[in-house]
Structure 1
Amino acid sequence: MRTPRWISQHLAAVRALLLFTVLLGLLYPLAITGVARIPGLRDHANGSLIEVNGQPVGSSLIGQSFTDADGNPVPRYFQSRPSASGYDPDATAASNLGPESIEDTLGDPALDPDSADGDGSKQALLTQVCARSKAVGELEGVDGSRPYCTADGVGAVLRVFRTDGLTGKVTRAVSVNQACPATPFIATYEGVTVECGRFGEDYRKGVLVPVRGSAPERSAVPADAVTASGSSLDPHISVDYANLQAKRVATIRGVPLDRVNALIDEHTDGRALGFMGEPAVNVLTLNLALDRMQ
């Protein structure tokens, strides 16, 4: 008796299910697990964990912060680059802010910015960069000023109102990233007094005008000190940023600067495959080497 076609089709589907379950659900995972146990690959497969006195303190592949309970940098350690996720491996993400993110959202002065809900304020990428550069400059004792940043560490951006929309005489200018009662970073713009920004006012009819200011073209604070990586988990900083921090770390720890510089060289990874990217310093392994040295 001939088997009905629909039964044959179902039997074929069952056989395919069993075959691929064995191949992809059992044999393939076992093969990959076996490869991961090969000497030279085992450490990477286990997360490249770093241990101190038998206790894991981190991974050489994932960055971490070296700050106190209040989020302030611990001066005796090299600092990592910023992270949009706070170096949380379960929340890895970028800020998704681009070069056109230059206008802040001002907070409601009637609300507490330190409360759980906050005051509704939101910093643009430009202000984040400006604030970080100012903070790093103060920590390292260098000029942290950058183009298009105010002295108080926000984006130097105006909303400029003209008689004919985009053209004509300027009738009003507002420093939209400096909430009142702040003093605007410039007093006048094309003969009009610059106002501070006020919560609740609609400035969208004004033209956004970034103001470069007098900061040098190349800031003393490197770019990776003020911007997060795409994953927010980058364990490295640039050699320039490490060198900027070396004097502070050496002074606070009371060790010769040349010894700290030698440790930076020892913990600098070269370009990927010898030609991609730039040399970079692993912050965790460098800080652990400093602790071992003392």
Structure 2
Amino acid sequence: MERLPSWLRQHLAAIRAVVVLTVILGGLYPLAVTGVAQAVFHGKANGSLIEKDGRTVGSAIIGQNFTDAGGNAVARYFQSRPSAAGYDMLSTAASNLGPEDVIDSRDRQSLLTQVCARSKAIGEREGVSGARPYCTADGVGAVLKVFRDRVVSVNQACPAVPFVAAYEGKTVTCATPGEDYAAGRTVPVRGNTAAVVPADAVTAGGSGLDPHISVAYAELQAPRVARERGLDLARVRQLIGEHTTGRALGFMGAPAVNVLELNLALDGG
């Protein structure tokens, strides 16, 4: 029998290798891993789903919003932290905005203004001060653009009243919409206000799917939830404690509260 040409033998060997590896790595290995996961970690392998009254209401490892049809926070529930992904598992992402993103543009709020606006709104909702460093009283970033002959509160569009009247001997004016202030020196103004609203209440997590909030944020919300549900505040705080996880491995990270599990416990009485 005549031997096949070397180039053809090489192609046939490559095809056999592709078929064998596809069967092993694309079929047998995934089936084996899936089988072990279902047998040993059944609940976690299926997404750590939580059911109530026979229907799936969420996941213990994926956050969700507790809002009405208009996107407003439902007062009787604890609220999750902000999410740049809208808690959509198909678009999990962070905002990719950093600490230098402090000036609003025509079509987008800066990260600083987003934080300030959230803090102001949460303060109003929880009945506490929403003030925080580098934020104005009207909930935007306290940032000045300093020029040789003038100073502009760049995130406060006219006719807003600037958060400070003067800086370095110059009168501070509000920002004229559409004017380019890029040439000015950027000066964020810290102020002397301490934040009451916790950081995780106003900043989104890296994944956009965080199921937990800090104990401090849960404690901040407890009086509102107790009031809306007609419950004793001590009982609400007890439930917070029951749904607080410890530090990873006993020393990593910080204790956190699973929002969905806490809200389900409240609904269960």
How big is the shift at 1:82?
A: 0.4
Instruction: Give matches, 1:233-248, under 5 Å.
Output: 233-248=209-224
Asked if residue 278 in structure 1 is aligned to residue 264 in structure 2, the reply is no
Aligned partner of 2:95: which letter?
Answer: S
How big is the shift at 1:8?
A: 1.7
Structure 1: runs of 5+ lacking an equivalent: 107-120, 163-170
Q: Provide the residue aligned with 2:11 in structure 1.
A: 10
CA distance in 1, matches of 2:31, 2:181: 61
Asked if residue 201 in structure 1 is aligned to residue 201 in structure 2, the reply is no
How big is the shift at 1:11?
A: 2.0
SS in 2 for 1:176: strand
Q: Provide the residue aligned with 1:168 in structure 2.
A: none
Instruction: Give matches, 1:87-126, under 5 Å.
Output: 87-106=87-106, 121-126=107-112
CA distance in 1, matches of 2:37, 2:164: 60
- Of 135, 144, 150, 1:158 maps to 144
How big is the shift at 1:43?
A: 0.7
CA distance in 2, matches of 1:122, 1:25: 44
Asked if residue 131 in structure 1 is aligned to residue 109 in structure 2, the reply is no
Structure 2: runs of 5+ lacking an equivalent: none
Aligned partner of 1:23: which letter?
Answer: I
CA distance in 2, matches of 1:74, 1:84: 20
Q: Provide the residue aligned with 2:38 in structure 1.
A: 37
CA distance in 2, matches of 1:21, 1:210: 57
Q: Which moved more, 1:18-27 or 1:229-238?
A: 18-27
Q: Provide the residue aligned with 2:199 in structure 1.
A: 223
SS in 2 for 1:276: coil
Q: Which moved more, 1:219-228 or 1:267-276?
A: 267-276
Q: Provide the residue aligned with 1:115 in structure 2.
A: none
Asked if residue 183 in structure 1 is aligned to residue 184 in structure 2, the reply is no
SS in 1 for 2:133: coil
Q: Provide the residue aligned with 2:20 in structure 1.
A: 19
Q: Provide the residue aligned with 1:112 in structure 2.
A: none
Aligned residues: 268
Q: Provide the residue aligned with 1:265 in structure 2.
A: 241
SS in 1 for 2:81: coil
Q: Percent identity?
A: 69
CA distance in 1, matches of 2:249, 2:25: 32
How big is the shift at 1:191?
A: 2.3
How big is the shift at 1:17?
A: 1.4
Instruction: Give matches, 1:45-124, under 5 Å.
Output: 45-106=45-106, 121-124=107-110
Aligned partner of 1:134: which letter?
Answer: K
CA distance in 2, matches of 1:129, 1:25: 45
CA distance in 1, matches of 2:197, 2:159: 29
Note the alpha carbon deviations across 1:68-111, whole angstroms, 9 max, x for none.
222221111001000112111111111110000000013xxxxx
How big is the shift at 1:32?
A: 1.1
SS in 1 for 2:235: helix
Give me the TM-score of the superposition, normalised by structure 2.
0.96
How big is the shift at 1:190?
A: 2.1
CA distance in 2, matches of 1:16, 1:48: 38
CA distance in 1, matches of 2:67, 2:184: 40
